[in-house]
Structure 1
Amino acid sequence: MAGDLVSRVAARRSYSRVTPDAPTHEELLPLVAAAGRVADHSALHPWRLIELRGDARVRLGRAFAKDAKLSGEAAEKLAAKPLRSSLLLAVVSVRTKSEKVPGWEQDAVASGVAHILSLLLHDAGWGVIWRTGHHTRSKAVHKMHGLASNERLLGWLYVGGIPEDSKEGHRKTIDPSRFLSVLE
């Protein structure tokens, strides 16, 4: 059983192109519940996810263009980026004041949720890519998402169907000995 999980995780890859198919809100709920089992010091649950579908993606594209201060064709091209997928899941770190858990650790929990969710979506047969970038720090983008002052946008999971013509290749397996050392 553990070997099966290892092989399924090792098969994960990012899909920069996906079809318009996407899981429903109801299909996402058990995956989000499972991802919420990530290690979470003091059980703060310092994260939330925001579904963006339909017009919400158009508004996000407008916020991208507004932040970049673009107009014309350049603005249209940038504004179309969120339309690459019919479902985007915004990953938000919700920082809570804590004597024991610093902000970076709370961001790490939110990142862990996003990564586990991407693994679960992949395992369920969906194509996923986690997109980040300078737009995550944009005032226009924060406002569009309705983020509070204690919230940080960590990026979006773009989710959709896996194209039939998708190449099956993925990153080469790492040499684990380069990354795992023994302290004696």
Structure 2
Amino acid sequence: MSDQHADALEAVRNRRSHSSVTEEAPSSAELAELVAALSSVADHSGLRPWRLIELRGDDRDAIATGLAAADGGGEKGLEKYTKKARRAPLVLAIVVKPRPSGKVPVWEQEAVASGVAHLLSLLLHEAGWGVIWRTGTLTRTEPVHRAHRLAPDEYLLGWLYVGGIPEKDRKQKPRKPLRVDEVLGTLT
């Protein structure tokens, strides 16, 4: 096994979600370096049918505004969703931006955007940042779409919440063992 293979395997084994993070976050330049590495994501025809929206500070309130409106509005709802939107100092909205293609169906383009989200969360974790993927039943509603200023043909997959890893969360997290025979098989 090569060192690179061992490093990649170890990175995947050690990745975990961090539901609470500190107020530290990668800079825009650090983030850009990680995003540039995503050129290697599996992407049939190289369509790059995705984009990211970097939300920091008050910009995170767009999430709250959209979710509160989708959930029926009201001051109490806005307060609830503002608290949720501000659980991390950096929130990355993962957007599917379908491209016209006679070879690549939209579901495959969405899979590429999902791959981008997963690889980016792995890269962020390896760079020492806490990350969690968040979605919900309101993610693809019209108010959330408007709040993120998405084009008519775009849609939201979810958000990566990013921040520093609290000291208490720096230890290895036990994993539920994966029964390989249940997920890996043959045709015979």
User: Does TM, normalized by the shorter one, top 0.5?
Assistant: yes
Hey, what's the Cα distance between the residues in 2 that align with 1:73 and 1:33?
40
| 1:176 is aligned to 2:184 | no
Q: Deviations over 1:68-98 (max 9, x none)?
A: 1142434411231110001000000101111
Task: Give the counterpart of 1:128 among 126, 131, 140.
Answer: 131
For the 8 Å contact 1:36–1:113, the answer to whether it is kept is no
**Further displaced range: 30-39 or 118-127:** 30-39
Aligned partner (choices 82, 101, 105) of residue 108 of structure 2: 105
Q: 1:122 to 1:173 in 2, by over 3 A?
A: farther
1:173 offset after TM fit, Å? 3.4
* Residues 1:115 and 2:118 aligned together: yes
- Is 1:22 the counterpart of 2:25? The answer is yes
Q: How many residues align?
A: 184
Give the match for residue 90 of structure 1.
93
Opposite residue 135 of structure 1, the aligned amino acid is: L
Mind listing any 5+ residue stretches in structure 2 that lack a counterpart?
A: none
Counterpart Cα distance in 1 of 2:94 and 2:39: 13
**Per the alignment, in what secondary structure is the counterpart of residue 84 of structure 1?**
coil
Equivalent residue, structure 2, for 1:73: 76
Partner of 1:53: 56
Q: Partner residue of 2:15?
A: 12
Task: Please give the TM-score of this superposition, normalised by the length of structure 1.
Answer: 0.94
Whether the aligned pair in 2 keeps the contact of 1:64 and 1:79 (CA below 8 Å) is: no
How many Å separate the matches in 2 of 1:10 and 1:16?
A: 18
The structural deviation recorded for 1:18 is: 0.5
State the alpha-carbon separation in 1 of the partners of residues 8 and 162 from structure 2: 21
- What's the counterpart of residue 159 of structure 1? 162
Deviation at 1:164, TM superposition (A): 0.8
DSSP-derived class of the 2:86 partner: helix
Is the deviation greater in 171-180 or in 1-10?
171-180
**Counterpart-to-counterpart distance in 2, 1:99 and 1:13:** 37
Q: Is there any run of 5+ residues in structure 1 with no aligned partner, and where? A: none
TM-score norm. by structure 2 comes to: 0.92
Root-mean-square deviation (CA, aligned residues, Å) is 1.4
Show CA shifts across 1:38-92 (max 9, x none): 1101110100000000111123212211111142434411231110001000000
Q: Quote the Cα distance in structure 1 between the aligned partners of 2:52 and 2:118.
A: 12
